[in-house]
Structure 1
Amino acid sequence: MKFKKIFLLFIIFLAMLGMGSMLSNIQSDEANQLLEAYGLSNNTRYIKIKNDQNISTFVRYLEQKFPKNKIQLHLASNRKDKQTLIWSNKDVLTLPTEAGRYFTSDDFKGRVSFGVLGLNANVKQYKTQGNQYIVLNNKYYTVIGTLKHYRQMKQNGYYLTTGSKQPTGQFKLRNYVIIIDSSTRVIRQIAAHYGVKVKTPSFVKSHQSHQFSVIKEILLIGVFILIAGISNLILAFLDWQTVKQTHLSGGLLRNWLLNHGIRTILTEILLVFGAYFFLCWRAFFSKPDHLLLLLLVSWIIISIIYSYGIFYRVRKEKLDA
């Protein structure tokens, strides 16, 4: 009997892992194309400005013209295909890092450019006294983080902050494809100011066409909840069999069922947190709080099923008596 209960609890744990894996697939699919542009939204567009203006001049124009609008730039180099410059007037989406951290809004305001590396960044580096630097044209850029490995990200790229006061702001605008994430109105005004066409990146088109293709994962989450619920119903049946073998009745029966039921439910909440930490360690979640919410909701559902199974047996026993 004890082995059967352990086996059923193991099935419930596996079902929770299955739910979490499906949620990870959903969030990965949603983020799949977006992560290729490293945290940009579906409203992202790109332009090419073919003049000798510096990036710092372009950024100052954005700061003066659109002080209240959120704008994020990713400038992909035409000459150095592994280099991307990042600028934003607000905090950017935090991307998962293997070490260190990703950029924050403060990194774009100062006079120093910082770098974040892909896991296998193809760029000259220098390490000394525990510090790591990217070396470009005899200039050193402090590395503040290394991105985690995800198939959506180019692993051999590297990313530098830019801004109106930073060394990378002196790079020529014509050498970069300017990827802009902002409102449609802002993007159109920028394009009109420079007399260029606005285009939609392929990753945005692809994501827009696939953003609703998650029905299979949702159905599988329902199946896993059903499996966990059936397992808990069997657990309730096994517990009732144990009660019948002890010949308990009255207050002793109620106390036994209450105490044993609470132990079962508390054991399953431990399974919830065990599944949560394991999945956060092994899978990708853009919003881990959604995973915790899913597991807690599933726990509530299967707890209700277990309680109903016990209540049904007690009621049936009374009616038969």
Structure 2
Amino acid sequence: MNFKRIFLLLVPLIMFLGIGTMISNIQSDYADEVLEAHGLTNNTRYFRTDSDESISSFLRYLNKNYAHHQIQLHFDSNYEKKQVLVWTNHMVKSLPTETGRYFSPDDFKGKVSFAVLGPTAKINVLEVQNNKYVVLGRNYYSVIGTFKNYPQVEMDKYYLSTGVDQLTAQDQLRNYRIVIDSTPYVINKIAKHYHAKLHIPSFVQEHHRDRLSVLPNILMLVACVIIGILSNVVLAILMKRQARLTYLRGDLLRNWVINRSARTLMVEGVCAFLAYIFLRCHAFYSAYSSLSIALFIAWLMNVIAFCIMLYHLMRKDKKVVKTTRRI
């Protein structure tokens, strides 16, 4: 009996590890897509223009007419193929970095541009007193972060912030492919203003085709939850059988069941905590809160399943006893 209980207590531990692994896989897949998209969403479109207008003037136009709309821009250089200028008027989605950080809104407001590098970016980098700088001609850009390396994603580009008052905004729009992420209404209005035709980036088309790629991970996650619930149902049945062997009655039996149940559920809680510690050290999560919430919910579902089953068995026994006494 003890061997069976130990085995059934190991099942929740395996379940917690499985749930955490599936969540990590889902978030890693999503992170890969975000990296491939450079932080942009499926609304993203791009256009080209022959306008001699500067990037700085373009950004002033956006600030004047669309200050209350969330807009994010990537300027892909026609000449420096691995260079991307980034601008946004809102909080950008934080992309997974190996060191440092991704851009924040303040990086686009000042006069100084910053750089974020792909792990395989081939660019002239100068290191001075543990600080890295991208060197482009006579200009130096402080490196604030380096992306994580994902083999399936092209990561040999480097990203520079741009803003109205920054040096990177002095070039002309005609020298860039303008990638814009906002609402369809805003994107269409801007493209119309510049008499430009909108196109769908390849990463958006690929994401539309592969958007069900996370389905196997979701199904596995659900399977782990179901297995955990079933194991707790079996644990409740075994505990009820063990309670019969004690020949206890009344308050003694109730206290015995409560104590054993509390110990069992506490052990499962410890299993969930150990799984959290292990997964946090060995798996990728865009936010650790998602892991802790998922494990807590899974543990809570196990507790509910165990208590409901045990309560059902105890009531069933009471009815049998009452029926026997009447006879």
Give yes or no for TM over 0.5.
yes
1:104, CA displacement in angstroms? 0.8
**What is the aligned residue count?**
321
Specify the code of the residue in structure 1 equivalent to 2:107: D
1:215, CA displacement in angstroms? 4.2
Specify the code of the residue in structure 1 equivalent to 2:44: T
1:98, CA displacement in angstroms? 2.0
1:165 aligned partner: 165
Label 1:101 to 1:307 Cα distance change in 2 as closer, same or farther (>3 A). same
Matched, 1:176 2:157: no
Question: Highest CA radius of gyration, 1 or 2?
Answer: 2
CA offsets per residue over residues 90-113 of structure 1, 9 Å max, x none? 111111222222111111000111
Label 1:95 to 1:34 Cα distance change in 2 as closer, same or farther (>3 A). closer
Give yes or no for contact 1:77–1:83 (8 Å, CA) kept in 2.
yes
CA distance in 2, matches of 1:288, 1:296: 12
1:261 aligned partner: 261
1:144 aligned partner: 144
CA offsets per residue over residues 236-263 of structure 1, 9 Å max, x none? 2343344344443322221222122122
1:116 aligned partner: 116
1:210, CA displacement in angstroms? 3.5
Specify the code of the residue in structure 2 equivalent to 1:14: I
Label 1:53 to 1:131 Cα distance change in 2 as closer, same or farther (>3 A). same
Specify the code of the residue in structure 2 equivalent to 1:253: L
Q: What secondary structure does 2:146 align onto? A: strand
Equivalent residue runs for 1:75-94 within 5 Å: 75-94=75-94
Label 1:36 to 1:115 Cα distance change in 2 as closer, same or farther (>3 A). same
2:155 aligned partner: 155
1:305, CA displacement in angstroms? 1.8
Matched, 1:96 2:96: yes
Q: What secondary structure does 1:160 align onto? A: strand
Label 1:12 to 1:112 Cα distance change in 2 as closer, same or farther (>3 A). same
CA distance in 1, matches of 2:102, 2:34: 16
1:155, CA displacement in angstroms? 2.9
Q: RMSD of the TM alignment (CA)?
A: 2.5
2:55 aligned partner: 55
Give yes or no for contact 1:91–1:104 (8 Å, CA) kept in 2.
yes
Q: What secondary structure does 2:310 align onto? A: helix
Specify the code of the residue in structure 1 equivalent to 2:10: F
Please, which runs of 5 or more residues in structure 2 have no aligned partner?
322-327
CA offsets per residue over residues 273-295 of structure 1, 9 Å max, x none? 43344444444444554444433
Label 1:297 to 1:97 Cα distance change in 2 as closer, same or farther (>3 A). same
Deviates more, 1:41-50 or 1:120-129: 120-129
CA distance in 2, matches of 1:87, 1:97: 18
Give yes or no for contact 1:132–1:143 (8 Å, CA) kept in 2.
yes
Label 1:232 to 1:151 Cα distance change in 2 as closer, same or farther (>3 A). farther
Give yes or no for contact 2:77–2:177 (8 Å, CA) kept in 1.
yes
CA distance in 1, matches of 2:274, 2:178: 44
Q: What secondary structure does 1:123 align onto? A: coil
Among the aligned pairs, what percent are the same residue?
45
Give yes or no for contact 2:23–2:291 (8 Å, CA) kept in 1.
yes
Label 1:119 to 1:76 Cα distance change in 2 as closer, same or farther (>3 A). same
CA distance in 2, matches of 1:116, 1:24: 24
Give yes or no for contact 2:42–2:204 (8 Å, CA) kept in 1.
yes
CA distance in 2, matches of 1:283, 1:32: 14
Please, which runs of 5 or more residues in structure 1 have no aligned partner?
none
Give yes or no for contact 1:119–1:147 (8 Å, CA) kept in 2.
yes
1:319, CA displacement in angstroms? 4.2
1:207 aligned partner: 207
Equivalent residue runs for 1:1-321 within 5 Å: 1-30=1-30, 32-151=32-151, 153-212=153-212, 214-286=214-286, 288-321=288-321
CA distance in 2, matches of 1:74, 1:139: 20
CA offsets per residue over residues 98-135 of structure 1, 9 Å max, x none? 22221111110001111112233322111122212111
